[in-house]
Chains A and B, each alone.
Chain A
Amino acid sequence: MDMLINPTVVELSRLQFALTALYHFLFVPLTLGLSFLLATMESVYVITGKPIYKEMTQFWGKLFAINFALGVATGLTMEFEFGTNWSMYSHFVGDIFGTPLAIEGLMAFFMESTFVGIMFFGWDRISAKAHLVVTYLVALGSNLSALWILIANGFMQDPRGGTFDPNTMRLEFSSFVQLIFNEDAQAKFVHTSIAGFVTGSMFVMGISAFYLLTNKRKDIALRSFRIAAVFGVISTIGVVTLGDALGFIDVKAQPMKVAAMEAIWNTDYNTASAPWNLIAFPDKAAGKNLFEIGIPYVLTPLLTHSEDTVIPGIHQLVDEAKPKVVNGIKAMVALKEYNHDHSNVQALATFKQYQADMGYGFLAMQYAPDQDLKKVDASNLASVVDKTAHETVPNVWVEFWAFRIMVALGFIMLAIFAFAAYFSLKNEVEKHPLLLKVALWSIPLPWFACEFGWITAENGRQPWTVYDMLPTFVSASSHSVGYMIFSLIGFVLLYSSFIAAEMYLMFKYARLGPQASHHGHDKAPAGGGMAGQPAFAKPSLAKK
């Protein structure tokens, strides 16, 4: 740590990670949701014995396959990025973070890949019931690998299950149970997984609407629309309620993130009447909202599910951070002394006394002369403390609006799914071309909601990689700026080509659709038109 940290390298590392994560997360939600939709369609096939549901499963399975392959490809590189670009972070929390990540790798590559293979190539080789079990295992496998990565992320948001060892300078495992049952991880998993269900439903419903509008394979389109609309309406209700629960947990675990999400600068002690900002233009430099429209009596019950819980504002939280910075500096100076001489029991005792605020000491490094906390003295302490305390505030504007957009999209999609389910259940969707058009054009909405959700979660965690413990500033590797720019451009080009490939293939196969049926579905040959062929090996389904 004696080498000076270059803030430009840190910013470039952040940018690279943010970009690769946002790219990767374009593929993930669809895998999470479409897998369960495939399982649903196949269940109907097994229950009713109608071959059309097999054909449906195979058709949507083809689109699933394209997405799945690119999801795995973009995810793989991210796992290495921790080691290459975030080596300080990996050293500090690798012991804890590596475990769920390794399990995730095993789940993704062994469980999912094996069963995905059987799912695509096994239609003719195993019984219908066994195949259904395999499809469920694929769905479960993909969601379980999401679970492990969210457990790792849950630790970054609310670190539980680890203790810092001053001898190894690492955060080490103390409880696996605490890690996996971390409330934040749990709530994150359910919200994200169900957000995937919403994404899958909108995808299937929108493309089915396209077929209905263009008179293509109505038999498949109407059935897919029905399943997706029903699946989607319940999932959207789920994602909204679970999102509320996630916010509730954040109030306890990450008060600064919540204050930024709601653009609350000053604590309002009139808890019952505290206004909830519907619209605001937060200005971090000025420390206030330049403009706001608040609805009184909504904030406290909405966030805390009570009338009298005080929600601390940003200014109060900054003031509360100041003594922590002072303690953190003491902890870090003592830790450094102890590291030079492990027999220095006095230094160890001082470190232990202030250990809880160690992260704030790390954070103060960037404002210390030569990034050396030993050089903080009476002459500059006040300024270092003040700057560091203000550093604990994330980008409020981004946080406020990313959260607002996600929530608004949630309610818009709920309305669309509600109408869609209502008219589909009455078998009247074809009478409502406007609804079909809205469904088609709404396909991108869940992706926007998911991306803005991640921005809310990760921007709101700044300036920390591990909340209150390890700042982003000290987490990056010490690469050169040139190397970072080179690899950033490489990633952007590579991932953009992945997106282009995905869009091209998706548009191509979705437009082509399941091939036109010339017979009533009940006359389709048992085993479906695709029996014996890999679901994605041909651009369209074999002629029946």
Chain B
Amino acid sequence: MKNLFTFVGMALILALSLFLAVITGDYGPWYFAWLVGTTMIVMIAVAGAVMYEKQDAESQDKTGHSH
């Protein structure tokens, strides 16, 4: 049951994204660019932080202390 809800939830998000892409892509290219761009900026910054944790763990392995 939980899987079904997850599936339906994801399908709704997908449908909404497609709708947004089609409507804003046509009439509001800059709004669309903002949605995509902001998502990208956040995701890359998150990845930067996750990478920090990996680097920190590696240096901890080497030197035995972490920040």
Contact = CB atoms under 8 A, between A and B. Distances in A.
Contacts of A229: 48
Given A197-B41, A226-B52, A43 B46 contact: yes
Interface of A: 36-37, 39-41, 43-44, 47-48, 50, 53, 143, 177, 180-181, 183, 186-187, 189-190, 193-194, 197, 218-219, 222-223, 226-227, 229-231, 234-235, 238, 242, 245, 424-425, 427, 520-522
B33 A223 contact: no
A226 B49 CA distance: 7
B26 to A, nearest CB: 9
Contact of A186 (B30, B51, B67): B30
B53 A193 contact: no
Contact of A231 (B30, B45, B52, B66): B45
Binding site of B, secondary structure by majority: helix, strand, loop or mixed? helix
A425 B51 contact: yes
Contacts of A39: 42
A53 to B, nearest CB: 7
14 contacts: A39-B42, A40-B49, A143-B38, A186-B28, A189-B34, A194-B37, A229-B48, A230-B44, A231-B42, A231-B44, A235-B41, A520-B66, A521-B66, A522-B66
A50 B48 contact: no
Contacts of B49: 40-41, 44, 48, 53, 223, 226-227
A227 B46 CA distance: 7
Contact of A190 (B30, B44, B51): B30
Q: How large is the interface on B (under 10, 10 to 19, 20 to 34, 35 or more residues)?
A: 20 to 34
Contacts, number: 87
A244 to B, nearest CB: 13
B16 interface: no
Contacts of A36: 38, 41-42
A222 B33 CA distance: 30
Interface in B5-59: 27-31, 33-34, 37-38, 40-42, 44-46, 48-53, 55, 59
Given A40-B46, A226-B48, A190 B67 contact: no
A37 B41 CA distance: 10
A53 B50 CA distance: 11
A193 B46 contact: no
B50 A44 contact: yes
A227 B53 contact: no
A40 B30 contact: no
B28 A427 contact: no
B67 to A, nearest CB: 5
Nearest to A188: B30
A189 B28 CA distance: 11
A40 B42 contact: yes
A231 B67 contact: no
A535 to B, nearest CB: 20
Contact of A193 (B29, B34, B42, B51): B34
B63 to A, nearest CB: 12
Nearest to B34: A190
B27 A230 contact: no
Nearest to B29: A186
A230 B30 contact: no
A382 to B, nearest CB: 44
Nearest to A246: B30
Contacts of A242: 30
A227 B27 contact: no
Contacts of A194: 34, 37
Contacts of B66: 520-522
B41 A427 contact: no
B2 to A, nearest CB: 14
Contacts of B38: 36, 143, 193, 197
A521 B57 CA distance: 12
Contacts of B53: 48, 50
Contact of A218 (B34, B46, B59, B67): B67
Contacts of A427: 52, 55, 59
